[in-house]
Amino acid sequence: MAGYILKRLVSAIPVLLGISVIVFVIMAMIPGDPATAILGSYATPENVEKLNRDLGLDKPMVQRYFIWLGNMLQGDFGRSFSLNRAVLDEVMERFGATLILAGTSFVLCSILGIAAGVVSAARQYGFADKAITFAVLLGISIPSFFLGMMMILIFAVQLRWFPVSGMWPIYGARDLSALISHLTLPALALAVVATGVIARLSRSAMLEVLRQDFIRTARAKGVHERSVIWRHALRAAMVSIIPVLGVQAGFVLSGAVYIEMVFQWPGVGRMLVDAILKRDILLVQGGVVFVAACYVLFNIAVDVAQSLLDPRIKT
Amino acid sequence: MSGFFRLLARNRLALAGLIVMGLVVLLALLTPLLPLADPDVTNTANRFKPPLSEGALLGTDHLGRDLLSRLMWGTRLSLAVGFAAAVIAATLGAAIGIIAGFYGGRTDNVIMRGVDMLMAFPYILLALAIVAALGPGLMNALIAVAAVNIPFFARNIRGITVGIAHKEFVDAARLSGMTDARIIATEVLPNVVPVIVIAMSTTVGWMILETAGLSFLGLGSQPPQADLGSMLGEARSALITNPHTSVVPGVMILIIVMAINLLGDGVRDALDPRLKSGALSRPMPTTLVDRSAPVPKPSDDGLLSITALETQFRVKDRVYRAVGGVDLHVEPGECLGIIGESGSGKSVTALSIMGLVASPPGVITGGAAYYRGDDLIGAPYEVLRSLRGRHVAYIFQDPLATLHPLYTVGDQLIEAVRAHHPTPRAEARVRAISLLKSVRIPNAEQRIDSYPHEMSGGMRQRVGIAMALANDPDIIIADEPTTALDVTVQAQILSLLNDLRRERGLAIIFITHDFGVVAQLCDRVAVMYAGRIVEGGPTDTILNAPAHPYTSRLMACVPELGQGRRVLAAIPGLPPAVDNLPTGCAFADRCHKVQPACRTADIPLSGPSDGNRVRCIFPMTASSEASA
- The domain ranges of chain A are 16-87, 88-309
Contact B208, B252 (CB under 8 A): no
Provide, as residue numbers in chain B, all residues whose Cβ is less than 8 Å from the Cβ of A22.
117-118, 121, 126
- Quick one: pLDDT at residue B382? 92
Secondary-structure percent of chain A, ordered helix, strand, coil, rounded to 5: 75, 0, 20
- Whether chain B has a CB inside 8 Å of the CB on A217: the answer is yes
Q: Which residues in chain A (250-279) have CB-CB distances under 8 A to chain B?
A: 250-251, 253-255, 257-258, 261-262, 272-273, 275-277, 279
CB pairs under 8 A between A and B: 233
Q: Tell me what ipTM this predicted complex has.
A: 0.88
Nearest CB partner across the interface for A254, out of B122, B283, B451: B122
Q: Residues 6 or more apart from A247 whose CB is under 8 A from it?
A: none
Cα of A194 vs its chain's centroid, Å: 11
Q: Give the side-chain half-sphere CA count within 13 A for B8.
A: 19
Low-confidence ranges of chain B (pLDDT < 50): 276-278, 623-628
Partner-chain contact B405 A23, CB within 8 Å: no
SS3 B451: coil
Give the SS3 label for residue A168: coil
- Cβ of B394 and A220 within 8 Å? yes
Angle at A168 between CA A163 and CA A245, to 5 degrees: 85
pLDDT for the residue numbered B273 = 56
Identify the structural domains of chain B with CATH numbers, from first to last: 2-32+55-275 (1.10.3720.10), 333-341+376-529 (3.40.50.300), 534-627 (no CATH)
Task: Name the region of B571 (left: φ>0; alpha: ψ -120 to 50; beta: rest).
Answer: beta
A29 touches chain B (CB under 8 A): yes
Residue A261: pLDDT band (50, 70, 90) is very high
> Quick check: B122 and A207 CB within 8 A?
no
Quick one: which of B359, B19, B6, B262 has its CA closest to A133?
B262
Whole-number Cα distances in Å, A110 to A114, A129, B272, B606: 6, 18, 27, 62
The span from the first CA to the last CA of chain B, in angstroms, equals: 53
Q: Is the pLDDT of residue A33 over 70?
A: no
B416 vs A28, B372, B407, B473, CA distance in Å?
64, 23, 13, 12
A102 touches chain B (CB under 8 A): no
Q: Is pLDDT of A249 > 60?
A: yes
Q: How far is B262 from chain A (nearest CA, A)?
A: 8
The set of residues, in sequence order, having a beta carbon less than 8 Å from that of A134 and lying 6+ positions away, is none
Task: State whether B406 and A309 contact (CB < 8 Å).
Answer: yes
Chain A residues whose beta carbon lies within 8 Å of the beta carbon of residue B121: 19, 22, 250, 292, 295
Q: CA B627, CA B606: separation in Å to the nearest integer?
A: 24
For A149, which of B113, B128, B239 is closest by C-beta distance? Answer: B239
Query: Looking at CA atoms only, how far is residue B250 from chain A in angstroms?
Result: 6
How many other C-beta atoms lie within 10 A of the C-beta of residue A273? 22
Distance from CA of A217 to the nearest CA of B (A): 6
Contact across the interface for B282 and A207, Cβ inside 8 Å: yes
> Cα dist. B21→B24, B189, B259, B402 in Å?
5, 28, 6, 46
Q: Would the CA dihedral through B530, B532, B535, B539 be positive or negative?
A: positive
For chain A, what percent of residues have pLDDT higher than 70?
96
| pLDDT for the residue numbered A153 | 92
B401 vs A213, A288, A291: nearest CB: A213
pTM comes to 0.88
Rounded to the nearest angstrom, the gap between the alpha carbon of residue B95 and the centroid of all alpha carbons in its chain is 32
Task: Classify domain A88-309 at the CATH topology level.
Answer: MetI-like fold (1.10.3720)
> Distance from CA of residue B44 to its chain's centroid?
61
Q: Which residue of A has its CA nearest to B422?
A: A223
| pLDDT of the residue at B300 | 64
Residue pLDDT, tens place only, A205-222: 999 899 899 999 999 999
Please report the pLDDT score of residue A45 as a whole number.
78
- How far apart, in whole angstroms, are the C-alpha atoms of residue B373 and residue B391? 14
Q: Decide if B253 contacts A143 (C-beta within 8 A).
A: yes
pLDDT score, position B204: 87
Residue B317 contacts residue B485 (beta carbons within 8 Å): no
- Give pLDDT, residue A161: 92
Q: What is the nearest CA distance from A29 to chain B, expressed in angstroms?
A: 6
